[in-house]
Amino acid sequence: MALRNPIMGGAVMRAGGAILAALALFSPTWASSRDTGTLAIALTPADGDGDGIVDRMDVAITIADPPDAFTMKTLANNVPTAASDMTAPVFTRADAPVAARVETRQEDASNAVRLWHVANGQQAPLSIAYRVTLDPDRAALALPQYELRTGTEGFSGAALSFLILPDDDIARDVTIAWHLGAMEPSARALSSLGIGDVRSARPLRPVEIGSTYVMAGTPKMVDNGAFFAAWQGDMAFAGEGLMEWAGQLHRYYGEFFRHAPDSFGVFGRTNPLNPGSGIGLTDSFAFTFDESSTQADLKGLLAHEMLHAFVRSLGDTMDAAHGLSSAWFGEGLAVYYQRALPWRAGLIDDAAFLDDLNATAGRYYTNALIATPNDAIADGFWRDTRVRVLPYDRGSLYFAKLDADIRAASANARNLDGLVRAMLAERRAGGRWIRPFSNVCCAPIWARRASTDFATC
């Protein structure tokens, strides 16, 4: 999540209703070659009043290995989701309705979920169908752009804002099928998994599925195979050039981190209230802009959010409930590398690098709330801009100091890059980001520095 802008920050459905018809439109016939379960998603947008703007979407989900409970965010980092704009979901097994007990849970002050406990759970397969309403007059938010938003160029939003997902941590093969018959003939659909109907390149856990993005309509697009970008709205300059730059940076990130997803997507949309914000997603990221957004500002934003997508804070904790206390790690690492990697790649010049560094240091050392500890960040994050920027600035300067410490202690034989790569390799092997403290060469330095004033682990 980037903070380039300081302010950032139904009716019960009958079993024979129209939404259940969506299940018949998409019955997965493919078989997984991997030893994992499957989750199939079918999305059918529609224009109910004929004005050319999508105002509803039928959602149909089929899961081959269902748990006994499902969940959906009702509030995600203070962003209201579609939970209040959807019909009651219908759960079916073998075309017969399945009873579900509903529960709501407040995870923290900024996050809440709805849970459905399914009778006779864990009997496969299970289907879920419901309709989501999209409001074209929904007011802009100065918050992360998770919410579904619709307009003349189509709609977009994060999956966590409208998908009901298994309440477990099991990775499954995922498919997304689009039914665009109600949209104009030139309409296209894409998601973090790729363009059009698509299957995930690897099994995804529910938290990773929720952290995908969808977009359908007539966006501007750049498609270079492994890298694609789509944006709704007009930039003050040719957006294609910026996205080609982002594609070059994507290739460099893959080389630097020695790993890249099979497909990577960028999603942009306008927000007059909060331009220049972004969210890192599964193999993708999303950002906002308006007519005042400059190429230089958006390059920094794209570099920041792309770093999130590659690194994911070395875990999923930052975007979870109570995760803001550790935001210094994910946001700090993203700010540190948002200038370092484009500069090393030759994609920004010395002046741009120094401007970013000096802006970060100047904002941090003149912040009246500089002494706020990390465990108090969550309480003030959405209430005070001065608190909200602290993890970004503090974490970035911490990592710069850590890199200098590692270099000094190893006579320049090692650096922060090697530590981050080792931790990412550990995570890809199935570990968690805290585990490498005991088995990578720089762990003693990390542990010593992490116990000082900048951070605690």
Residue that terminates a domain, selected from 314, 343, 376: 314
Residue 103 gets which letter from DSSP? E
Residue 214 resides in a domain: yes
pLDDT digits (tens, 9 = 90+) for 286-299: 999 999 999 999 99
Adjacent-strand bridge partners of 64 = none
In this structure, the answer to whether residues 271 and 207 fall within a common structural domain is yes
Do 380 and 291 belong to one domain? no
Per-residue pLDDT at 143 exceeds 50? yes
Phi, psi of 375 (to 5 degrees): -75, -5
- Write out the two tokens for 142: 């100065």
Instruction: Report pLDDT for 319.
Output: 58
* Average pLDDT score over the chain: 86
Q: pLDDT tens across 259-278, in order?
A: 888 899 999 999 999 999 99
Strand 100-108 and strand 96-98: the pairing is unpaired
CA distances 403 to 165, 396, 407, Å, are 40, 11, 6
Res. 94: pLDDT tops 80: yes
100 vs 441: which has the higher pLDDT: 100
CATH of residue 121: 2.60.40.3650
Give per-residue pLDDT as tens, 36-66: 799 999 999 999 999 999 999 999 999 999 9
* pLDDT surpasses 80 at 455: no
Residues 239 and 334 in one domain: no
Q: How many domains does the chain have?
A: 2
Q: Which of 74, 59, 63 is nearest to 204 (CA)?
A: 63
**C-alpha dist (Å) from residue 254 to 132, 191, 311, 453:** 37, 20, 11, 33
Cross-strand bridge partners of residue 100: 118
456, part of any domain? no
User: pLDDT value at position 326?
Assistant: 84
Q: Quick one: what percent of the chain has pLDDT higher than 90?
A: 74
- The answer to whether residue 453 scores a pLDDT higher than 80 is no
- Would you call the peptide bond into 342 cis, given omega within 30 degrees of 0 as the criterion? no
Query: Based on the domain organization, do 257 and 382 belong to the same domain?
Result: no
Chain segment 227-254, per-residue pLDDT in tens: 999 999 999 999 999 999 999 999 999 9
**Has residue 400 got a pLDDT over 70?**
yes
Model-level pTM? 0.85
**Across residues 75-102, what is the average pLDDT?**
95
Q: Indicate whether 201 and 309 sit together in one domain.
A: yes
pLDDT digits (tens, 9 = 90+) for 185-204: 999 999 999 999 999 999 99
Range of the domain at 365: 323-450
What is the DSSP track for 270-325?
E-SSSTTEEEEETTEEEEEE-TT--HHHHHHHHHHHHHHHHHGGGSS-TTSTTGGG
> Is 20 or 209 the better-scoring residue by pLDDT?
209
Is residue 260 exposed (0-12), middle (13-18) or buried (19+ Cβ within 10 Å)?
Answer: middle
Q: How confident is residue 425, by pLDDT bands cut at 50, 70 and 90?
A: confident
